[in-house]
């Protein structure tokens, strides 16, 4: 699977930035003749930096929220040590990424990527959370809030990386905004696809598995069946006491899953429209289209 996030996969975000660089080309065509595959070394560096920042973010999010009530003795010490290593490793990746970013010597690119890192932090303050920091829905949560949270948490970096690589190629502000929009739409499609997995891949996510209670299928189900909120709230602020098997069954019985599939398709079509309306046909554009279409395989 192209979108699989295991250790043997192609780093898809980095690949998307490289392909959009190739699709857009350079303002001065003669420059492409001196660059491997039509992508400049600075654009390659930017793609690597974007992936490195994403990895650093994932490592930092892997820090465990420790509680002496739950953990004690040797286990607590081991987890504390693991948290320190995770923080240090994430910081190392970020430091390396920003050193590479400074080497690009482009103020606008630096600003774009820096604000994407800022957006990671802002995303953590959106919505309601339980005592362990897990997001939980409330009666006022809508898909607009879902879009805002997921743009800040993941879409911002991909969208701004796509924009930044066109900045390095000297393209107009209008074309840069098209690249930004493409990155944003594919990020939304990617997130909707990921949110669907606990409800479509029952082999990897058997009923009863802990799921994101602010995922698109859950929110869309709540809009037509608010009674699910009472089931979610019944466990109070303890994630361990929630009946995820029953929550899964209720969501599967409603329209939330199908509506999320439709939503994913709309994001996919929006991304394809940007590609096909703005950029000329090429092997790189076809490769991007194929990557996007993978997201329709639930």
Query: pLDDT above 90 covers what percent of the chain?
Result: 64
Domain limits for position 170: 12-294
Give the pLDDT mean for 41-47.
93
In a domain, 203, yes or no: yes
The total number of structural domains that make up the chain: 1
Within a 13 Å sphere around the CA of 269, how many CA atoms are in the beta-carbon half?
Answer: 6
In a domain, 159, yes or no: yes
Least confident of 10-24, 88-102, 185-199, 214-228: 10-24
Q: What is the pLDDT of residues 163-187, one digit of tens each?
A: 999 999 999 999 999 999 999 999 9
Entry pTM: 0.89
Q: Which residue has the tokens 């070394």?
A: 41
With beta carbons less than 8 A apart as the criterion, state whether 56 and 90 touch.
Answer: yes
- Residue 145 sits in a domain of what CATH number? 1.10.600.10
Per-residue pLDDT band for 5 (boundaries 50, 70, 90) equals very low
SS3 136: strand
Tokens of 116: 């994407």
Which whole-number Å values give the CA distances from 210 to 4, 100, 240, in the listed order? 20, 38, 9
* Mean residue pLDDT across the chain: 88
In a domain, 1, yes or no: no
pLDDT, residue 234, reads: 80
Least confident of 38-52, 168-182, 233-247: 233-247
pLDDT, residue 88, reads: 94
Give the pLDDT mean for 125-134.
81
Q: What is the pLDDT of residues 57-115, one digit of tens each?
A: 999 988 887 765 555 667 778 888 889 999 999 999 999 999 999 999 999 999 999 99
With beta carbons less than 8 A apart as the criterion, state whether 160 and 122 touch.
Answer: no
In a domain, 4, yes or no: no
SS3 128: strand
Residue 298 has pLDDT above 80, yes or no: no
SS3 135: strand
In a domain, 2, yes or no: no
Residue 127 has pLDDT above 90, yes or no: no
pLDDT, residue 157, reads: 97
pLDDT, residue 30, reads: 54
In a domain, 112, yes or no: yes
Q: Which residue has the tokens 């392909």?
A: 19
pLDDT, residue 263, reads: 97
In a domain, 90, yes or no: yes
Tell me the C-alpha distance between 188 and 28, whole Å: 32
Give the pLDDT mean for 196-224.
92
Q: Spell 270-288 as b/e; 16+ CB within 10 A means b.
A: bbbebbeebbeeeebbebb
Give the pLDDT mean for 108-137.
90
In a domain, 5, yes or no: no
């Amino acid at each position: 699977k192209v979108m699989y996030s295991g250790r043997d996969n192609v780093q898809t975000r980095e690949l998307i930035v490289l392909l959009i660089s190739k699709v857009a080309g350079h303002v001065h065509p003669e420059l492409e003749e001196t660059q491997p595959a039509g992508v400049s070394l600075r654009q390659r560096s930017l793609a690597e930096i974007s992936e490195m920042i994403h990895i650093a973010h994932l490592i930092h999010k892997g820090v465990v929220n420790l509680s002496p009530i739950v953990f004690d003795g040797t286990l607590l010490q081991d987890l504390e040590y693991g948290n320190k290593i995770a923080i240090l490793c994430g910081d190392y990746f970020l430091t390396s990424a920003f050193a590479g970013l400074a080497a690009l010597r482009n103020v606008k690119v630096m600003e774009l990527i820096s604000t994407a890192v800022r957006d990671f932090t802002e995303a953590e303050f959106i919505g309601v959370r339980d005592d362990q920091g897990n997001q939980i829905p409330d009666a006022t949560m809508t898909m607009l809030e879902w879009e805002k949270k997921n743009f800040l948490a993941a879409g911002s970096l991909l969208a701004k990386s796509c924009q930044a690589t066109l900045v390095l190629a000297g393209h107009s502000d209008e074309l840069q905004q098209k690249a930004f929009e493409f990155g944003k739409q594919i990020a939304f499609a990617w997130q909707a696809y990921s949110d669907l997995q606990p409800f479509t891949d029952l082999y990897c996510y058997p009923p009863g598995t802990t799921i994101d209670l602010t995922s698109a299928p859950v929110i869309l189900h709540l809009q037509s069946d608010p009674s699910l909120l009472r089931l979610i709230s019944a466990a109070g602020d303890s994630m361990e006491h929630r009946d995820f098997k029953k929550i899964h069954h209720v969501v599967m019985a409603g329209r939330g899953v199908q509506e999320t599939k439709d939503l994913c398709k709309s994001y996919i079509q929006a991304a394809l429209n940007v590609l096909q309306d703005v950029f000329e046909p090429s092997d790189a554009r076809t490769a991007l289209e194929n990557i996007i279409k993978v997201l329709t395989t639930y």
